[in-house]
Amino acid sequence: MSELHARGEQSFTDLLAPLVQPAYRLACAMLHDAPAAEDVVQDASLIAWRKLGKLHDRSKLRAWFLGIVANECRNAKRRGWARRVNLGLPSRLSVASTEEHSVKRADLRRAMLQLEHGDRLVVVLYFYLDMPVAEIAAVVGATADAARARLYRAIHRLRPGLAIEEALR
């Protein structure tokens, strides 16, 4: 850890910087709130940077880091005291909401938001970040079979009439 910190910015560029954009996409997809997603990525990066020494297998860096991001997304509402008590300003006028041009896409986003956190997470990792099920399992801390079952269940909730094989294309 201390060796990594001694290398400072260079190590950050080498290790975590390539993962910032995937982390941001994950956070946006989970929260549907870009400023909050940026905050989550910053906080998760700081946590990851401080705990990097505990990660012994660097090949699992992406899954480990995205797991931290996912956890921070789950905690975002609880930790976001500065914005949660938002003086009663209606969320329909938030920046993200004004960009909702397509009713169909908005409906799908609403359906995803209604998924339980873990189900939404596997859907985002599989469909939006194009991660294989084995790596998704590492992010969510489950076996590959359990991650796959969770993915199938989430797909069924999003599109009850759609065959799994077709959905996975």
Partner 1 sequence: MSLRNEIRAALDDVTPPAPALEHKVETFVMAGNRVRILRPRRPSVHWTRRFRGPLSFVAAVLVLVLIGGLVLGGRLLREMNAPPQGINQADLKRLESRPLRTFPTVRAGDPCPTSPLTDVSAHSPEDVLLGDGPVYSSRLGGQSVTRTNWGTWSVWSVLVDTTKASGPILIRARDLPTHAEVVFGWQTAHGQAGEGIPAGTATGTDVVLGETEHLYSEAVLDLAHPFALTKAGDWPIFKTFMGYPKAATGCIGFQIDGAGFTELLVVD
Residues that bind partner 1 (CB under 8 A): 5, 8-9, 12-13, 16-17, 20-21, 24-25, 28-29, 32-39, 41-42, 45-46, 49-50, 78-83, 85-91, 93-96, 99-102, 104-106, 108-109, 112, 123-124, 127-128, 155, 158-159, 162, 166-167, 169
Determine how many CB atoms are found less than 10 A away from the CB of residue 134.
12
Q: How many CB atoms lie within 10 A of CB 42?
A: 14
Hey, what amino acid is at 15? L
Min dist. Cβ of residue 10 to partner 1 (A) = 10
Query: Which of 26, 29, 73, 25 is closest to 47 using CA atoms?
Result: 73
| Cα separation, 80 vs 65, whole angstroms | 21
Q: Which is nearer to partner 1, 106 or 134 (CB)?
A: 106
Query: Closest separation between CB of residue 137 and partner 1, Å?
Result: 19
